[in-house]
Amino acid sequence: MKQSSTRGPTHSAKEAYNFGPNPWQQTSWDGRAAGNFIGGGAGGGLIVFSALSGVQGMALTLMLLAGLALVGGGLLSVWFEIGRPLRALNVIFNPRTSWMSRESLVAFALFPAGLAAAVGLPGAAALAALLACLFVYCQARLVLAAKGIPAWREPALLPLLLITAGAEGGGLFLLARALPLPQTQPGVHWLWALFMALVLARALLWLVWRTRLAGVAAPRALAAIDRAGALLLMLGSLLPLALVVLVVNGPSGVAATAWLLGAAGLAAALAGAWFKFTLITRAAFNQGFALKRLPVRGTAHVSGTAPSDPKGV
């Protein structure tokens, strides 16, 4: 992610004027940073679902490569955001304290493991799935490390981001199964149930996270979260669940079933991507200055409130 020291001032004149006790929106991370979380989460989830599915041959190869491409695209997106891209390798030198460094190191291991799985090396798919889970975890912890932003530091966001990645990956897997790929094994029905469970869990975790932000996050942040949340709950949760239930209970043919599941997966993935874009770019308001103890003029007492006697001011 870009640092203020590499690209000059991070606040415009208007933002500098508003800088103070009231919350202001952070400007260090923009849509390119959001692209890292969108691509990394969806790609990591797709790798996990592909490894779990038992699909073999060219279909598995293409899905694993697609997952790696999403992860790589996200990393490339954030690389373009850095003020001095040639210094990007410096990010790997502080894994002891930096989740960004850990994310990068896991990515270096994920790509060769994913490529090995794509060419059919035994055991590589399981390793790639494990590294994909670890990569998504590092990304989630990277967001939670921003303690000055109430919407990011809330602990409920960690499981929400992890489950969102799984729901997106499951959605992309269902979409891939609907495409005319050379597939050597039919769809695994228990993965439908896993996808539904992840979508439902994501909706419930979003409600928990949103409830805990009430009275803590800035009103404009909550407004952006509510707009994205409405899309997440309707398009990304209720619609996919309804489509999967329709497939399970309906007498549809194989082609219709595949496309209904593909539509459910696409809706879940798009809603998750928009939620993460909103989280990074529109809901990221700092809390403003928070001073627990304020000096009071005219008295030796230090308090967070003004003295009751006006003469003491």
CA distance 265 to 239: 10
Among the listed ranges 7-16, 148-157, 283-292, which one has the minimum average pLDDT value? Answer: 7-16
pLDDT for the residue 31 = 87
Strands of the chain, DSSP E: 294-295, 302-303
**Who wins on pLDDT, 301 or 39?**
39
CA atoms of 263 and 118, how far apart (whole Å): 26
More confident residue, 16 or 133: 133
Distance between CA 51 and CA 124 in Å, rounded? 9
- pLDDT for 138 beyond 60: yes
pTM of the model: 0.82
Which 3 state secondary structure label does DSSP give 302? strand
Q: Which residues face 302 on adjacent strands?
A: 295
Q: In this prediction, what percent of the chain has a pLDDT beyond 70?
A: 77
Q: What is the mean pLDDT of the chain?
A: 83
So what's the pLDDT on residue 18? Answer: 52
Residue 40, CA distances (Å) to 78, 134, 138, 208, 257 in order: 11, 11, 10, 24, 28
Task: Quote the CA–CA distance of 172 and 167 in Å, as a whole number.
Answer: 9
pLDDT per residue as tens digits for the range 213-255: 998 889 999 999 999 999 999 999 999 999 999 888 876 556 6
Output the CA–CA distances (angstroms, integers) from residue 8 to 57, 119, 122, 192, in the order listed: 50, 45, 49, 49
> How many of the other CB atoms lie within 10 Å of CB of 204?
12
Q: Give the chain's domains with CATH numbers.
A: 27-308 (1.20.1630.10)
**In the prediction, which pLDDT does 11 show?**
43
pLDDT digit string (tens) for 78-122? 877 666 656 666 666 777 778 888 998 999 999 999 999 999 899
Element (H, E) at 81: helix 57-81
pLDDT of residue 94: 74
**How many CB atoms sit inside 10 A of residue 226's CB?**
12
Report the distance separating Cα 142 and Cα 181, nearest Å.
36
